[in-house]
Amino acid sequence: MVAAAELLISLFLVVSGIFGFVGSFGLLKLKDQMSRLHAPTKATTLGVGGVLIASILHSIAIEQRLSLHELLITLFLFLTAPITAHFIGKAHIHRHEKPETLPRAGEDGIWATHDIEELDSDGNHPKSA
C-alpha cells in the first residue's frame, strides 16, 4: 500500500514539475503580455495544484493524518490566478491599445479602460446622447 502511494505521489510531483517548468518558461519567453497570459494562470496553477495533491496524498497515506493546509493553499491559488490574468490583460490594454483600436463596446458605448474622462456630469457618454 505504501509503495503504491509513494509511486502515485512521485507521479504527481513529476507531472507538477513539468507543468511548473512549462508555465515559467512561457512567462519568460512568450513575446507579448497577451501571449503570456496563460503561462502563470494555467500551467503554473496546474503545477502547484499537482504538488498540493501529492502533499495531501503524502499526509494521508504516509503520515496517517489529514492536513487541511493544502486545501487552504488551493483555495488561495484558485482565487488569485484569475486576478493575475485580469491584471495582465488590463496592463496590455493600457500600454498597447487606443480607444479607436478597441472593438465596439456594449450597449453603453464605452470601454471603462479608456473613456472615463469623457463622461458627462450625469455619468453618461456624451457621444451616445
Per the listing, cell 493600457 goes with 94
CB-facing half-sphere around the CA of 51: CA atoms within 13 A: 15
For each of the chain's 129 residues, which pLDDT tens digit applies?
789 999 999 999 999 999 989 888 888 888 877 777 877 778 878 888 899 999 999 999 999 998 888 889 988 888 888 888 888 788 877 777 777 777 777 776 666 665 555 555 665 655 554
The counts of H helices and E strands in the chain are 5, 0
Rounded to an integer, what distance in angstroms lies between the CA atom of residue 40 and that of residue 35? 11
Provide the CA 30 distance to its chain's centre, in angstroms. 16
Q: What is the pTM of this model?
A: 0.66
Per the listing, cell 512567462 goes with 27
Give the three-state DSSP class for 60: helix
Tell me if 6 sits within 8 A of 60, measured CB to CB.
no
